[in-house]
Amino acid sequence: MKTLRQIFSWVIPVVIGLILALLIRQFLFQNVRVDGPSMLPNLVNNERVFSFKQSKIHRGSVVVFNADGVDPQVSTKTDYVKRVIAVPGDTVKSQNGNLYVNGKKANQSYIKMDQRKAGTGNWTLKSISKQNNWVRNAGATKVPKGEYFVLGDNRTVSNDSRYWGFVPKNKVDGVVKVGFWSKNKTRKYNVNQFWKHYFAN
């Protein structure tokens, strides 16, 4: 009996801890590993970040989402990390390195001019949806209700909304935040707080 009590004395706290960890991961936040170069220079390959599940999604927010069912080339749960460029109801256009959301020039100071010009291309939602044969929302002129238009910061290599369309809200796992351990204040700002100045001059 004594042995049984001793076993329960350490088993119960472990079980409680596991349950709490699962609940936190499911409903509050989780640790995410960035895979690949598509978010350079602000997030690097293998960088560890937090994904906050209850945070509000803004234009300029960096999000993690399940690409299965979004990118036609993905057939299993695969996390993509991208930046939200436009939210439901927005129009989007890219011209000469500038992004225009609802006709207003977006602030892209989080990347260099060559990344904007060489990587982004010239297009409207309607033109790229037809050019890239989107499976969903072909010919769209606005971001549909409950969906987002996302781009990687490293536009020349990023596989993003330009090629397969919008990200449904129910596919988004959370908003990405760089942890306190990051020593690069500029990159940290560009991920954690940039959305506050999305249309800043």
pLDDT one-digit tens code per residue, 161-191:
999 999 999 999 999 998 777 778 999 999 9
Q: Which pair of tokens denotes residue 18?
A: 């596991």
Closest CA to 158 of 54, 39, 53, 65: 39
Instruction: Determine the length of the chain.
Output: 201
Distance CA 23, CA 29 (A): 9
pLDDT digits (tens, 9 = 90+) for 9-49: 655 555 555 554 454 455 456 888 888 999 999 999 999 89
3-class SS at 70? coil
Catalytic residue, chosen from 51, 61, 82, 171, is 82
What is the rounded end-to-end Cα distance, in angstroms, of the chain? 72
pTM, two decimals, is 0.85
Q: Is 82 a catalytic residue?
A: yes
Which is more confident, 75 or 86? Answer: 86
Residue 2 has pLDDT above 80, yes or no: no
Comparison of pLDDT for 130 and 14, the residue scoring more? 130
Per-residue pLDDT for 71 more than 70? yes
